[in-house]
Each structure stands twice: as structure tokens, then as C-alpha cells.
Structure 1
């Protein structure tokens, strides 16, 4: 998944920034929201199919832009005293959370890399490419039960490696 998201980032970060930049004037906010788009992609349970990933990224960026405006709406036209804001929590995830998420992804990638070859391939194609078990069984010429066993083995080994 990490490689998939990295490839998406390299291919689409400029487009995402321009898309958000047409809606928001602040460069720093645009950069933050573009980065958050990919962080959100990393946090989804099931990554969209490769042919739909670009659209999915733009949908995330659109929702983040809308959320940004919703957070800003109550502040429009008001001046705030900075002393009153000192105790307000920041709505964005803390930098530590980003670092922890990256570490967790590296651990997951390393754990996936230790799976037996066929087990790893079936797991990746099912979880990240979104292929149904039935399709995988047909492609590999095995029973549905065999695919389920490979997925169970992968999940058990990953759970063991990540605990």
C-alpha cells in the first residue's frame, strides 16, 4: 500500500495542489490540505481500485476544502483576541500523529514483506486492489476455500508480527 500511495503522490500531488489552490488562496493551507489528502488515503481501510484512485483523491481533497471553509465560516468578519485563543486545541492532527502513522505503515509494510510469496500476493490483491475472493480463486485456479485459508494465514501472521 505504501508504494501505491507513494506512486499516487508523485503522480498527482501537483494536480491536487492546483485543485485546492483554485478554491483557497493561502499557499500554506493549500499545501497542508494537499498533504492531508494523502494522509487520509493512508488511513482508509480499503484503498480504491487503481483506475478509481485519482477520482478518490480529488473527492478527499474536495471534502477537506469544504471542511476548511466550514471551520472558517464562524470566524469570518470577526477579530479574535489571541489571548483568548491560547487554550484552543488545534483541529489538525498533531505532527506526532503523522509520525506515528508513518511508523505504523512502515511496520505494516515490513510485516507484509515477510509473508510467503503467494500468501502476500493474494493478500495484497484482495485487500489493496479490491479483488473479490471468488475472482482470485478463478485466477489462481484454486478453490474459494484455499483463498480464504491464504487470507487467514496472512492476517494471523500480520497480527502476530504487529503485536
Structure 2
């Protein structure tokens, strides 16, 4: 037999005391009970993954904060999936990627979205217009109502940010 670390016992206790509450909280916010159950489990997994588990005075507040972040990620991913599927819908059938390739594309989009989330909106939009839509700096400047030198600065910021995040 082996000893269970105290931190695991603490999380197990939190799970027993608050899982039902968290699951109900998530079910109110999601249209899918199975997705609510998954996010509830993911919330406790995140808690287990925290390197330091401080004393928790308000467990429901902490669990709600973690779950809210996961919920935001969930809705953001669904939005990206819808946009991706809409883009696929306009392609001729022979050009559609296979299921595995579609999954890879979606995973890349989600990772890119996470990285770009740290940018100012104008920098993010400049990067996307350049890299996704293929617009030239002059076109981006005209569309955003900015100077070309501003667009160049924004792209520099975006590229440095992506490099720091390991994307480039």
C-alpha cells in the first residue's frame, strides 16, 4: 500500500463536497449535460495540476473561477470550429481535407487563438489580415484607417509575441 499525499486528499475532499454544485452551475451555462460533466472534471484536474495548492478559504469561488475560464475556452473553441466549418462549406468537395487533417487544422487554430489572445486588438487584427487573409500592409492600413508605418510596427509586435510564445 502507498501513502496518498495530503494535497490529493484535500482535492478529493473538495470534489466530494462541491462536485455536485459545480456540475449544476455548469449545466445552467451549457446546453449539453455531457459537456458540463467534462468541464466539471477538467476543473478538478486543473486544481490538481496547480504546483502550489494554497489553503482554500472559498472553494466554490475558486472552482467557479477555474470553471469560468474553461467555459470561456469552450465557447471560443466552438466559435472557431463554426468559422472553420463555414470556410470549408464554400470549398468544392474535392478540396475538403480529411477528418484527421480537419482536426489538426482546428487544433492549430485554437493554439494560434490562445497565443494571439495576448495581443492588443489592433495588433491581432493586423496579424490576422496579413497572415490569414494575405493582405498587403497598404491594404491593411486602408482597412484599419492607420498608417503603413503603424501596420509595420503592429506586425513587428505580433511577430515578436508569436516568437516569444514559441509559435514561430
Q: TM-score, normalised by structure 2?
A: 0.48
Q: TM-score, normalised by structure 1?
A: 0.49
**Larger relative contact order, structure 1 or 2 (CA cutoff 8 Å, min sep 6):** 1
Higher Cα Rg, which structure: 2
